[in-house]
Amino acid sequence: QVQLQESGPGLVKSSQTLSLTCTVSGDSITANHYYWSWIRRPPAKGLEFIGYIGYSGDTYYRPSLKSRTSISRDTSKNQFTLHLSSVIPEDTALYYCALTNGKVIVAPQTLEDFISWGQGTQVIVSS
């Protein structure tokens, strides 16, 4: 079973860059047809797709966040990292990393849309 674990700062100041890392165990992040996503749940709102990095290293970002988002990976550590620049208080959310196999979900309704996900990490952006 593939397991994911998010790590990173819980508090970030506005205009700074948020970096969150997802550490994967149980399989390689380069395994065929895996897509590794970052999603978030702002307070009192539904899940929001941020972006993904695929098994071959391809990336895709939510258009409204594209200018501020990048996702990279370290295959030697079996990790992938979200970088969100110029954060604003509206970026405050519970952030998850999640896995799909053979497809990408850009409008998740629930975490169960994914085959595995981390426990989530709370990020607060202070003004």
Instruction: Compute the residue count for the chain.
Output: 127
**In angstroms, how far is the first alpha carbon of the chain from the final one?**
40
Cα–Cα distances in angstroms (integers) from residue 67 to residues 22, 24, 27, 36, 87, in the given order: 21, 26, 31, 20, 12
R_g of the chain computed on alpha carbons: 13
Q: With H, G, I as helix, E, B as strand and everything else as coil, classify residue 74.
A: strand
Please tell me the distance from the alpha carbon of residue 6 to that of residue 78, in angstroms, as a whole number. 12
> Tens place of pLDDT for every residue, the chain, 127 residues?
999 999 999 999 999 999 999 999 999 999 999 999 999 999 999 999 999 999 999 999 999 999 999 999 999 999 999 999 999 999 999 999 999 999 999 999 999 999 999 999 999 999 8
